[in-house]
């Protein structure tokens, strides 16, 4: 791994603010961010990233690498939860395995945004259409997780369990607030860029100039939340701790292999690897809490947020960049 | 007059309110962002951004027959997703 890349990644404001949040919890500072604000910032980040992605999708069009890349991303979000499920079943029951597998098959928008910031700091170009892959990778993993519960877990469900309704499952996976906003913003960005260029200009101060500051603020909160979730890892046990660190590496390698087959440039390849390596803590926990209450939320939140997320944004992104540079030389 | 106190995850708020309305509750008070400690873990607001926020506290003042009408429905929701419900006597001023 190129130590220099790790250092350059760590010394960026978003990652430093993330550490500031962690240190605040460790030192028991009274720093507290009122509850509605992180929610507002997460919605803002999804809106801005979707809008910008839609604009760039319009300018790049749907030809060339766009459709194969987006299609491969969707396939990865179907395959990764299956691989994770098989591994997790070695130690966990069907419900926890399916919920955690769904979380790892889905993506983390903030990890993706951090990877974009990293690429910008390194002056490595990437395409806006990768946001379309981001938006379309969230839902399939949720559906796979719930199908796994339906197939493998029916006999083991609690006596008071409610039958899973496909309508509820699809509603939770596609109309979940974060997925809906991301897809909606992508469409609005696309339509605005195509038919109303002055609208793009008017949005720029909001979706463009404020973005980096909002990302820092959100990562400050994520640092606090991640640190608060660390004690939950003790309950999760060593198997899940190893899983939370090793599976992103495996998924990233898988992503890099697919990116190489798709002949993606280094920037897009890193984003593709990050999408495969990251785990969801927005849409999936909400959907799993609703549809698989048998799964322990502390397991899938502690692993994704307490370990995989910090690992990816601090070490993972530069490490995957090093792997991309090795396997896909520019 | 009875007082019904319900404490459960905000995620189930719509389902609980629908159950109360279907039973004919004359009204209710909802307090969101309720934190504290449950049987397994601390309930905090720290996952607000993901939709897995804190608890909601719902208070209903109504006649006993309304509570009886909604009893099974609410018990089923709370047994499945978690939460508590208590009924007590209430005396109007």
Contact B53 A301 (CB under 8 A): no
Confidence tier at A157 by pLDDT (50, 70, 90): low
Residue A326 has pLDDT above 80, yes or no: yes
Over the Cα atoms of chain B, what is R_g? 13
Residue A156 has pLDDT above 70, yes or no: no
Contact A42 B33 (CB under 8 A): no
**pLDDT recorded at residue A2:** 66
* pLDDT-wise least confident of A130-134, A232-236, A280-284: A232-236
Residue A1 has pLDDT above 60, yes or no: no
More confident residue, A217 or A170: A217
Confidence tier at A272 by pLDDT (50, 70, 90): very high
Q: At what angle do helices A130-152 and A166-174 cross, to 10 degrees?
A: 150
Minimal C-alpha gap between B85 and chain A (Å): 18
**pLDDT recorded at residue A321:** 95
**pLDDT recorded at residue B47:** 79
The secondary structure of residue A77, as a DSSP letter, is H
**pLDDT recorded at residue A260:** 95
- The tokens for A287 are 């959907």
Question: What CA–CA distance (Å, rounded) separates A86 from A89?
Answer: 5
Q: Which residues contact A70 (CB under 8 A, 6 or more apart)?
A: A129, A132, A133, A136
Pinpoint the alpha helices (H) of chain A: 3-10, 13-26, 36-60, 66-88, 94-105, 109-121, 130-152, 166-174, 177-195, 197-204, 211-236, 238-261, 266-277, 283-291, 297-301, 309-311, 317-327
Confidence tier at A173 by pLDDT (50, 70, 90): confident
Q: What is the largest CA-CA distance in chain B?
A: 41
Question: What CA–CA distance (Å, rounded) separates A324 from A75?
Answer: 20
CA angle, residues B60, B66, B69, in degrees to nearest 5:
125
Stretch B25-29: mean pLDDT: 95
Contact B47 A177 (CB under 8 A): no
What are the DSSP calls for B2-19, one per residue? EEEEEEEEGGGHHHHHHH
Question: What CA–CA distance (Å, rounded) separates A237 from A234?
Answer: 5
Nearest to B60, CA basis, from B17, B22, B93: B17
**pLDDT recorded at residue A150:** 82
pLDDT per position as a tens digit, A195-249: 998 988 999 899 888 988 999 999 999 899 888 888 777 777 899 999 999 999 9
Confidence tier at A164 by pLDDT (50, 70, 90): low
Report yes or no: A179 and A137 within 8 Å, Cβ to Cβ: no
Question: What CA–CA distance (Å, rounded) separates A136 from A241?
Answer: 28
**pLDDT recorded at residue A38:** 86
Tell me which chain A residue has its CA closest to the CA of residue B40.
A298
Report yes or no: A328 and A256 within 8 Å, Cβ to Cβ: yes
Confidence tier at A160 by pLDDT (50, 70, 90): low
Residue from the list B40, B52, B79 with its beta carbon closest to the beta carbon of A289? B52
Tell me which chain B residue has its CA closest to the CA of residue A44.
B49
Minimal C-alpha gap between A38 and chain B (Å): 6
Per the DSSP assignment, residues forming a β-bridge with B87 are: B4
What phi and psi values does residue B7 have, to the nearest 5 degrees?
-130, 125
Confidence tier at A159 by pLDDT (50, 70, 90): low
Q: Which residues of A touch B (CB under 8 A)?
A: 35-36, 38-39, 41-42, 158, 160-162, 176-178, 218, 221, 224-225, 228, 232, 281-282, 285-286, 289-290, 293, 297-298, 301
Q: What ipTM, to 2 d.p.?
A: 0.75
Stretch A38-65: mean pLDDT: 87
């Amino acid at each position: 791994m190129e130590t220099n890349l790790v250092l350059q990644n760590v010394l960026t404001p978003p990652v430093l603010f993330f550490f500031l949040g962690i240190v605040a919890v460790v030192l028991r500072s009274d720093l507290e961010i009122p509850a509605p604000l992180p929610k507002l910032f997460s919605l803002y980040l999804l809106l801005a990233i979707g809008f910008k992605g839609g604009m760039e999708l319009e300018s790049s069009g749907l030809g060339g690498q766009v459709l194969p890349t987006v299609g491969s991303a969707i396939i990865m979000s179907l395959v990764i939860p299956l691989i994770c499920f098989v591994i997790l079943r070695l130690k966990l029951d069907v419900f926890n395995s399916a919920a955690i597998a769904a979380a790892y098959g889905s993506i983390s928008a903030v990890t993706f945004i951090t990877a974009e910031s990293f690429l910008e700091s390194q002056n490595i170009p990437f395409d806006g259409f990768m946001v379309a892959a981001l938006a379309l990778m969230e839902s399939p993993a949720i559906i796979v997780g719930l199908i796994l519960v339906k197939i493998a877990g029916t006999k083991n469900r609690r006596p008071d369990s409610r039958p899973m309704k496909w309508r509820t499952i699809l509603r939770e996976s596609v109309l979940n607030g974060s997925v809906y906003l991301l897809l909606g913003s992508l469409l609005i960005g696309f339509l605005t860029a195509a038919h109303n260029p002055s609208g793009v200009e008017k949005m720029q101060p909001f979706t463009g100039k404020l973005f980096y500051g909002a990302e820092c603020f959100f990562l400050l909160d994520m640092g606090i939340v991640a640190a608060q979730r660390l004690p939950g890892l003790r309950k999760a046990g060593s198997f899940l701790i190893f899983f939370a660190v090793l599976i992103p590496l495996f998924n990233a390698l898988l992503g890099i292999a697919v990116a190489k087959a798709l002949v993606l440039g280094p920037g897009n390849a890193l984003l593709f690897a990050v999408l495969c390596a990251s785990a969801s803590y927005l849409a999936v926990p909400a959907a799993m809490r609703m549809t698989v209450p048998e799964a322990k939320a502390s397991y899938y939140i502690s692993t994704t947020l307490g370990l995989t997320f910090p690992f990816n944004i601090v070490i993972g992104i530069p490490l995957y960049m090093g792997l991309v540079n090795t396997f896909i030389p520019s | 007059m009875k007082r019904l106190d319900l404490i459960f995850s905000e995620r189930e708020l719509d389902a609980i309110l629908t159950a109360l309305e279907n039973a004919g509750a004359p009204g209710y008070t909802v307090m969101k962002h309720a934190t504290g400690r449950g049987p397994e873990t601390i309930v905090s607001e720290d996952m607000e951004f993901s939709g897995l926020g804190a608890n909601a506290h719902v208070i209903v003042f109504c006649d006993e027959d309304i509570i009886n009408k909604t009893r099974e429905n609410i018990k089923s929701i709370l047994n499945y997703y978690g939460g508590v419900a208590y009924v007590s006597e209430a005396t109007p001023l």
